[in-house]
Each structure stands twice: as structure tokens, then as C-alpha cells.
């Protein structure tokens, strides 16, 4: 059974009742956040809220279900996030990422893993999608690189690296950066965990960048990983952004 650092009793009651409500109404959803992180690493983390993932076409039904049962609901950010709460206890309903790249689709459900949370059977988001999302969290307030390293360390031999590469392919540089960091952090482990074909493929891509002409447009992809710190590049230094800036 999945175990994390237990929140207060009233929070547990809230989370358990919420999960049971979803199950009883045959609502499709996946568990993420600290529960998914523990599932793949064994690292316990304080659970201040609960992260539930679903497809963009599904969050409206989830919000309506909770609203019909007396919960407060909020459409926090139409691009990726809604919230459900009662008193001081919250559930995040996540269907994409803030950069609108990691959109939940059928393959999240296809490769999800079975687990139990507070005695309720649930599906956990796949490790590949968990890493995919975390690769874009690289800002001053939060950097998920150590989380990814721990997932790779504890679950790397079971990862579908080809599927992860397909997910991150447009931004493969981020995966190469992470693998180099993993190599630095775990010099005695990486040979047994990181497939050599993957490392060589990414290094080859990096080398080939020098054979290409310089881009005509001045582009800064920084906002994809940190909307705030690269704001000056877009607003004052005339770089074009690859994502929508949040003012």
C-alpha cells in the first residue's frame, strides 16, 4: 500500500472521501504529486494537497461532481489547472502543465500503475510522464532536478526510455542536461541505469547543432522552464518567446 507522510486526520478524511466519490461515480483520473513520487522512489513527502490528473475533456465533469456534493470548485487557470477544496483542504485537478506542453492524453492512462491511497484503489501517473513534466520545472522557486534523479535511480531500469524520449523530443536538450546531472550525482550508478544508446543519441544531436546555421529569429526558450526569470529577455531584449508569458 502506498504510504506518505500522513497529513492531519481531517485532511485524510477529506482526501479519502474525495477519492471514494470519484471511484463511486466511475470518473477516470490519475494520482500524481507526492503520491506518485513515493510510488516510484519510496521517498515520503509531506502531503499539503492532492494532485489529480485527467484529460482536458474530463475536468469539467470532475468539477461538476464535486460541486454537486458541496465542495468549492475553482477554474484556476484554463490552460492547465482547476481546484477543489473544502475548508482548508485542497485538491488540484491538473490536465496539462503551465507551459501547455505536457497535456494529459490516453497514453497516460494506458501506462498508469495500480496502487492504493488511503485504502482506495487508484491509478498512478506513469513514471515517464512524471519525469516529462518535471523536466520543465527549473525556476528559482522550484527545481525538480533532484526529484528526477531519484526517480531514475530507483525506477530507471524499468523506464521506457524510448517513450520518454518521444515525449521530450522537441526539447531533447532538457533530457540531455538531466542525464549529465545524473552522471555527475551518481558516478557509480549511471552505467547500469542510463542506456548507452540514449546518451550517445543525445550527444550526437548536441554535436550536430554546431553544423547548423544560426537561427534567423532571436528566440529565447527560457520561459518554457521559468516564466519569471526570462521575462526580461522577451520584454526588453527583443527575444521571441516559445510560450505564452504570464504577466
Q: Report, as an integer, the average pLDDT of 24-45.
A: 96
pLDDT at 45: 84
Q: What is the torsional sign of CA 58, 60, 61, 62?
A: positive
The pair phi, psi for residue 126, each rounded to 5°, is -60, 150
Q: Decide if pLDDT at 181 tops 80.
A: yes
With a pLDDT cut of 70, the percent of the chain lying above it is 95
d(CA 92, CA 32): 10
Q: Decide if pLDDT at 3 tops 60.
A: no
Least confident stretch, 5-19, 47-61, 85-99:
5-19
pLDDT at 247: 31
Q: Decide if pLDDT at 2 tops 60.
A: no
DSSP summary character for residue 156: G
d(CA 242, CA 14): 39
d(CA 26, CA 40): 26
Chain mean pLDDT for the chain: 93
Q: Give the start-to-end residue ranges of the domains of the chain.
A: 9-125, 134-211
pLDDT in tens, 38-58: 999 999 987 778 999 999 999
pLDDT at 8: 65
d(CA 123, CA 31): 6
Q: Are strands 219-220 and 89-94 parallel, antiparallel or unpaired?
A: unpaired
pLDDT at 156: 98
> Residue for cell digits 523530443?
169
CB 27 within 8 A of CB 77: no
d(CA 88, CA 76): 16
Higher-confidence residue: 137 or 11?
A: 137
9-125, CATH topology level: Beta Polymerase; domain 2 (3.30.460)
pLDDT at 1: 43
Amino acid at each position: 500500500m502506498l504510504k506518505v507522510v500522513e497529513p492531519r486526520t481531517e485532511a485524510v478524511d477529506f482526501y479519502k472521501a474525495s477519492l471514494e466519490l470519484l471511484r463511486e461515480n466511475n470518473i477516470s483520473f490519475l494520482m500524481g504529486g507526492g503520491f506518485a513520487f513515493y510510488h516510484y522512489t519510496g521517498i515520503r513527502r509531506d502531503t499539503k494537497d492532492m494532485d489529480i490528473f485527467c484529460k482536458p475533456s474530463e475536468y469539467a465533469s470532475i468539477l461538476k461532481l464535486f460541486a454537486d456534493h458541496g465542495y468549492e470548485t475553482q477554474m484556476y487557470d484554463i490552460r492547465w489547472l482547476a481546484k477543489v477544496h473544502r475548508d482548508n483542504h485542497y485538491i488540484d485537478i491538473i490536465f496539462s502543465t503551465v507551459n501547455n506542453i505536457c497535456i494529459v492524453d490516453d497514453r497516460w492512462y494506458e501506462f498508469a500503475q495500480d496502487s492504493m491511497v488511503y485504502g482506495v484503489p487508484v491509478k498512478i501517473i506513469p513514471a515517464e510522464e512524471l519525469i516529462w513534466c518535471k523536466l520543465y520545472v527549473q525556476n528559482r522557486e522550484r527545481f525538480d532536478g533532484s526529484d528526477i534523479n531519484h526517480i531514475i535511480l530507483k525506477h530507471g531500469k524499468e523506464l521506457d526510455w524510448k517513450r520518454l524520449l518521444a515525449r521530450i523530443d522537441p526539447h531533447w536538450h532538457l533530457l540531455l542536461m538531466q542525464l549529465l546531472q545524473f552522471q555527475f550525482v551518481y558516478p557509480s550508478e549511471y552505467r547500469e541505469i542510463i542506456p548507452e544508446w540514449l546518451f550517445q543519441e543525445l550527444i550526437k544531436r548536441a554535436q550536430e547543432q554546431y553544423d547548423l546555421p544560426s537561427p534567423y529569429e532571436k528566440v529565447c526558450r527560457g520561459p518554457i522552464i521559468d516564466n519569471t526569470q526570462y521575462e526580461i529577455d522577451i520584454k526588453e531584449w527583443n527575444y521571441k518567446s516559445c510560450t505564452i508569458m504570464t504577466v
